[in-house]
Amino acid sequence: MKQLITIAFVLVSIVSFGQKKAETTFVVQGLCGMCEERIESAFDVPGVINADWNVETKELQVAYKTKKLDENKLHALAAAAGHDTDQVKATDEVYAGLHGCCKYREGASCGDHDDHDHDDDDRAPQP
């Protein structure tokens, strides 16, 4: 019985020791599937466990290791890719490099029409 308690205690310690992860959700401006890909690949860095941006709500959900990253850095990652967050704005230079239909500041719209020609979801080679 005593042994069992010891084992349980050790397990709890291991679990809480491993909990150097955190999850956060914040708003990242963007418009379409291209934005989603751009935003999520911006979070393809060491320390990020998972990043998921929702085109409808503009909310980015990030699971990250607190040892490597903090919330400020996460906001900076989105801004570096050209997407404003509620805390950090992208520089005009980076923003200018976005695809025309991704210019969220001007209220551009990508998804509203069916014939948009940047359907790179499957990364098919362009002729």
Q: Smallest Cα–Cα separation from 31: which of 68, 61, 56, 12?
A: 56
Contact 50, 62 (CB under 8 A): yes
Residue 63 dihedral angles phi and psi, to the nearest 5°: -110, 130
Q: Kindly indicate which of the ranges 11-19, 45-53, 82-90, 94-102 contains the residues binding Cu ion, using the contact rule CB under 5 A.
A: 94-102
Q: Kindly indicate which of the ranges 31-39, 67-75, 80-88, 114-122 contains the residues binding Cu ion, using the contact rule CB under 5 A.
A: 31-39
Using alpha carbons only, how large is the chain's radius of gyration in Å? 20
For Cu ion, the nearest residue by Cβ is 102
Among 28, 35, 69, 88, binds Cu ion (CB under 5 A): 35
Structure tokens at 103: 């210019």
Nearer to Cu ion among residue 17 and residue 122 (C-beta)? 122
Contact 86, 76 (CB under 8 A): no
| 78 lines the binding site for Cu ion (CB under 5 A) | no
| 34 lines the binding site for Cu ion (CB under 5 A) | yes
> Least CB distance from residue 87 to Cu ion, whole Å?
21
Which residues contact Cu ion by CB under 5 A? 31-32, 34-35, 102, 110
